[in-house]
Chains A and B, each alone.
Chain A
Amino acid sequence: MAGTQNIGESSDNPVAINVTAMVDVIFCLCLFFMCSFQFKQLEGKIESWLPKDRGMNVTQVTEALVKEEIRVLMKWNQDTGTTSRSVLNSEPAHLGTDSELLAVIRQRRDEYISQGKTNWPLMIDAQSEVPWQDVIHVMDLCKNENLPRIEFAAPEAAIEGPAG
């Protein structure tokens, strides 16, 4: 360990400061912070919305409506251990790569824009087995395309019959 040190020449500075204790403490502190050090992960958010008409609302839908939306379907393939993706009412049925998926989304978006339709969401409809990373990846791709609304599809609620 360090010995007694005088700061400067003894003739200049008659007050001798013993820095040994301070160095010891700094070493201990340094050791503590080095051991407990963890690099902060740069963290952020991706905004999305839930449908406002779900949840507490008990209104029952009696007939299916044709919705204006781009619905990305995500299914987990147990055999291959991968997520297969497709866009509802679009070809092809399996979009393996990101560029294929984006091409279909762009095509559908352009169709809506040419029809003057602007208020439509991109709905992510994923199976419960799909990993969260894959869902976020699709969201990320869609955000990159500047799609205004990204929503999650709620699981279909069972329609209850009349009591009695």
Chain B
Amino acid sequence: MARKSLQTEHEVAPNLIPMVDIMFLLLLFFMLGADMGHRELEVVKLPLAQTVKEDKDDSDIESRLTINVFHLYEPEVICAAYKAEAICRDKTHWRIAMKGKQYADHKLLVKQLQRYADTQGGNPKNPIISEKKLMVRADKSAPFGLVQEVLKDAAMAGMYKIECGAARPTP
């Protein structure tokens, strides 16, 4: 007796459209959340403060200068104190940078600040005071002496409006 062979093969076609939709949403989320902007800013562990004011306007960011006081990163220097979130007092581990350039010589930094603040050529007895703002983004573990040196340089360059970079604590 002839037997009919059972048809066991089924064509399984998964519907990929919802998955593609979700993937697109995920992609959009990661693309928008990616921190691609402000390469002027070094990676700095900012101190926390409740009363920080956020920049409402891009013109604020464009018009001001930013100086970063930051600790060298892991491959360059291995610092047990900094890793343990303690205060690193080794001056060779710290850097001062502005517009992506590091400054070891404070005279050079003053010159650059004067150039940006348009206070070059001022009479030392009657210094030109700049209305331009300077943002100091210093690492929370940095000794105040480092920041003080930057502030001194700013004063030398005729800049007195200082903004201190800080992060709002996460609730």
- Inter-chain CA distance A22–B19, complex, in Å, is 12
A44 within 8 A of B: yes
With A131-B143, A152-B148 as known contacts, state yes or no: A43 contacts B46, CB within 8 Å. yes
- Inter-chain CA distance A56–B152, complex, in Å, is 10
Instruction: In the complex, identify which listed stretch (A63-71, A103-111, A113-121, A136-144) lies at the interface while the others stay far away.
Output: A136-144
Q: How far is the CB of A66 from chain B (nearest CB, A)?
A: 23
Q: Which residues of B contact A3 (CB under 8 A)?
A: 13-14
15 more contacts with CB within 8 A, not counting A29-B27, A139-B164, are: A23-B16, A33-B31, A43-B165, A43-B167, A44-B54, A44-B165, A45-B163, A47-B164, A58-B125, A74-B144, A129-B143, A132-B138, A132-B140, A154-B151, A154-B155
Contact indicator per residue, chain B 23-56, by CB within 8 Å of chain A (1) or not (0): 1101100110111000000000011111111110
Interface pair A131/B141, CB less than 8 Å apart = yes
Interface pair A49/B162, CB less than 8 Å apart = yes
B100 within 8 A of A: no
Q: Which residues of B contact A155 (CB under 8 A)?
A: 148, 152
With A23-B20, A44-B166, A130-B144 as known contacts, state yes or no: A140 contacts B49, CB within 8 Å. yes
The residue in chain A whose Cβ has the minimal distance to the Cβ of B114 is A56
- Inter-chain CA distance A3–B19, complex, in Å, is 13
In the complex, the number of residue pairs spanning A and B with C-beta atoms less than 8 Å apart equals 185
Q: Which residues of A contact B160 (CB under 8 A)?
A: 49-52
Chain A residues within CB distance 8 Å of chain B: 2-3, 5, 7, 19, 22-23, 26-27, 29-30, 33-34, 36-52, 54-59, 74, 126-133, 135-137, 139-140, 143-144, 152, 154-155
Q: Which residue in A44, A128, A131, A154 is a CB contact (below 8 Å) of B52?
A: A44
- Inter-chain CA distance A151–B122, complex, in Å, is 24
B147 within 8 A of A: yes
- Inter-chain CA distance A144–B50, complex, in Å, is 8
Q: Which residues of B contact A130 (CB under 8 A)?
A: 143-144
- Inter-chain CA distance A47–B136, complex, in Å, is 10
- Inter-chain CA distance A3–B33, complex, in Å, is 31
With A132-B140, A143-B51, A144-B50 as known contacts, state yes or no: A23 contacts B23, CB within 8 Å. yes
B87 within 8 A of A: yes
Interface pair A33/B53, CB less than 8 Å apart = no
- Inter-chain CA distance A58–B152, complex, in Å, is 14
B145 within 8 A of A: yes
Chain B residues within CB distance 8 Å of chain A: 13-17, 19-20, 23-24, 26-27, 30-31, 33-35, 46-55, 69, 87, 89, 122, 124-125, 127, 129, 135, 138-148, 151-152, 154-168, 170
Interface pair B35/A38, CB less than 8 Å apart = yes
- Inter-chain CA distance A139–B163, complex, in Å, is 12
Q: Which residues of B contact A137 (CB under 8 A)?
A: 47, 49
With most chain B CB atoms within 10 A of its CB, the pick from A126, A127, A139, A140 is A140
Interface pair B155/A54, CB less than 8 Å apart = yes
Interface pair A40/B52, CB less than 8 Å apart = no
The residue in chain B whose Cβ has the minimal distance to the Cβ of A153 is B148
Interface pair B53/A45, CB less than 8 Å apart = yes
Q: Which residue in A29, A49, A129, A136 is a CB contact (below 8 Å) of B49?
A: A136
